[in-house]
Chain A
Amino acid sequence: KNEVEQSPQNLTAQEGEFITINCSYSVGISALHWLQQHPGGGIVSLFMLSSGKKKHGRLIATINIQEKHSSLHITASHPRDSAVYICAVVTTSGTYKYIFGTGTRLKVLA
């Protein structure tokens, strides 16, 4: 079992739909990041969370520390949102460890 798991692995949506991507982790963490990776490899950091909720434009990220779960929501999805969304956690064990999920591949159709 991976320490960071994302669901779904693949998601196809119609333009305008509300999208939710989930991340569950089994280790103690000090922070959780949501990243966006476009084809060609470029990664952009979307959010960094240690508690509660953050919003940026059409993107909303929430985290529940007790349940070890985070969600990324996209409202009014658009084809340009098509990308791989990766959840990554910074663990509290050891010197430093940054563990990534395998990503959710999102395709938004026009």
Chain B
Amino acid sequence: GAGVSQSPRYKVAKRGQDVALRCDPISGHVSLFWYQQALGQGPEFLTYFQNEAQLDKSGLPSDRFFAERPEGSVSTLKIQRTQQEDSAVYLCASSLRGTLQQETQYFGPGTRLLVL
């Protein structure tokens, strides 16, 4: 079956512009994660959903970042008033159940965001 998909794959935004990044998890996967990966760094956790519930958003760097998963499937990460420091690859991952510790996460290809 299809893996995790993300769109767009690349996004160039002018500083101050709002952007929306989409994640389509593997069908039936309960858990969905968003990560931010700056150039040359490891990914950093942003937020986690179990179905439509956002159980942890402690990694969102500011109130300009907002994520939703209204029907427990597709998720959107929205960044308002983008800043240059938001430039990074945004990775989405999903896993089958909600038992975080013992599950493999399946990663999407990422969206590379460049803010000019």
Contact = CB atoms under 8 A, between A and B. Distances in A.
Contacts of A95: 55-56, 58
A45 B42 contact: no
B101 A97 contact: no
Interface stretch (B15-23, B66-74, B77-85, B106-114): B106-114
Interface in A1-49: 4, 30-31, 33, 35, 40-45, 48
A35 B112 CA distance: 19
B109 A41 contact: yes
B41 A90 contact: no
B104 A97 contact: no
B110 A48 contact: no
A100 B33 contact: no
A109 B8 CA distance: 34
A43 to B, nearest CB: 4
B91 A41 contact: yes
A53 to B, nearest CB: 17
B43 A86 contact: yes
A-side interface size class? 20 to 34
Given A50-B101, A95-B56, A96-B56, A45 B106 contact: yes
A50 B109 contact: no
Contacts of A35: 107
Interface in A64-110: 86, 88, 90, 94-103
Interface of A: 4, 30-31, 33, 35, 40-45, 48, 50, 86, 88, 90, 94-103
23 contacts: A40-B109, A41-B89, A42-B109, A42-B110, A43-B91, A44-B107, A45-B104, A45-B107, A48-B103, A48-B104, A50-B102, A86-B42, A86-B43, A90-B101, A95-B55, A95-B56, A96-B55, A96-B56, A97-B56, A97-B58, A100-B42, A101-B42, A102-B42
